[in-house]
Structure 1
């Protein structure tokens, strides 16, 4: 179903709202590049009126037409009339990509009718079910960074075509081990914390698999705005988008994307 798009360009929708990492600024650069050089139609949806607006991402009805959705969310509390578009999309078994804080995309109060969405990372991306919790999903401090390398079994995977065997990321490593990623997930990239604030264990920072709805997935815990300036990370995302759509990795890399977005942190 998703292997050919001979009659039309595939539509990739980016859904942003993450408080901290400026996904609503970095992802439009990627979307524009896909549209300009890789034959992919794109649409970017962002939290309104700004990244701290946790209860409104206008335009989600376009997910009914989407061939792929890329999520970069953090602790949203969307109303049911918006959640239903995400739920319908995923239940159709369509592919999905998640970045960094999407492991804890939602944060509904205890007892809320939508509280089950707090485990979105688990049932949509085989990631830990929210921040902290039973999986002790955490990171190793804002003064740390991450050395990244390609997982041994993934060295010939099309997602890492043209990606260096190792590179450095400004993202502080997310702990997902020992229980995640779950299901049939395959590690693509492995991260080692540099200058951690506590004892650190290596964890996968990118994986592929099938989610609980049968949808093809790619997830990465990377996503600091400085990562988007790294050509290896750009190649990884472009390749991953093609892979989950059932397309071959681009024959030719069209060149580094000029993305210069500063890290702002959480600004209320």
Structure 2
């Protein structure tokens, strides 16, 4: 059976709560088992307390990781399990603050990997956004299995993250800030990467409102299917 692990721990966007129905829906759609984890300490910034997902040996058997965390400081064993998962080519669907998923702690063995994770795995680390009073217009780019049945254009209430995806990424969605508080920087909202047999999808969408929208739920379902090499409904790929 396909095995999915979900790590949801972001206090700002309440991903511990909002991701559960997303993850359960994806698992049900695929017919996969789901190991849904939340941290024992939800707070992150600015104190960066250590938290735990209860041990991550489950990643040794996982086919897909759903990630929505922010500034996690995890026990060294859990960080090693994550690093090993990606080193073996584990697939990833990551949302919003996952481009600053882990907080590197100087002196810890995991500090270097925690600092490199967003750039190396996701493809673009956190830089800035357009302010909490702004919204975003999202436009679909081209054809890709992750975009199956996703509309050409839709709006979200979340503020646009400024991103710079790598050259090997297929950009799927593009965002234009609406009423930005900072200098406008239209940016990629979602992209897909293939690194050998490993498949990665990142989207900066993921606010509480975003995850209620059918377009976003569909995008995430398609992303999980694509990462696992499964066809998306209504397509042959």
3-state DSSP of counterpart to 1:175: coil
Q: Hey, what does 2:119 align to over in structure 1?
A: 122
Aligned residues: 230
Deviation at 1:111, TM superposition (A): 4.5
Q: Hey, what does 1:107 align to over in structure 2?
A: 103
Q: Is the 8 A contact 1:190 1:204 kept in 2?
A: yes
Give the superposed CA RMSD: 1.8
Q: Hey, what does 2:203 align to over in structure 1?
A: 220
Deviation at 1:49, TM superposition (A): 4.1
- The whole-number CA distance in structure 2 between the counterparts of 1:166 and 1:27 is 24
- The whole-number CA distance in structure 1 between the counterparts of 2:201 and 2:173 is 11
Which 5+ residue runs of structure 1 have no aligned equivalent? 1-7, 132-136, 253-268
Deviation at 1:33, TM superposition (A): 1.6
After TM superposition, list the pairs within 5 Å mapping 1:175-254 onto structure 2.
175-176=162-163, 180-210=164-194, 215-251=198-234
194-203 or 236-245: which moved more?
194-203
Deviation at 1:58, TM superposition (A): 1.2
Match of 1:170 among 142, 148, 157: 157
Deviation at 1:149, TM superposition (A): 0.7
Match of 2:35 among 43, 57, 69: 43
2:90 matched to 1:73?
no
Match of 1:55 among 51, 57, 66: 51
2:129 matched to 1:139?
yes
2:8 matched to 1:21?
no
Normalised by the length of structure 1, the TM-score is 0.80
Normalised by the length of structure 2, the TM-score is 0.90
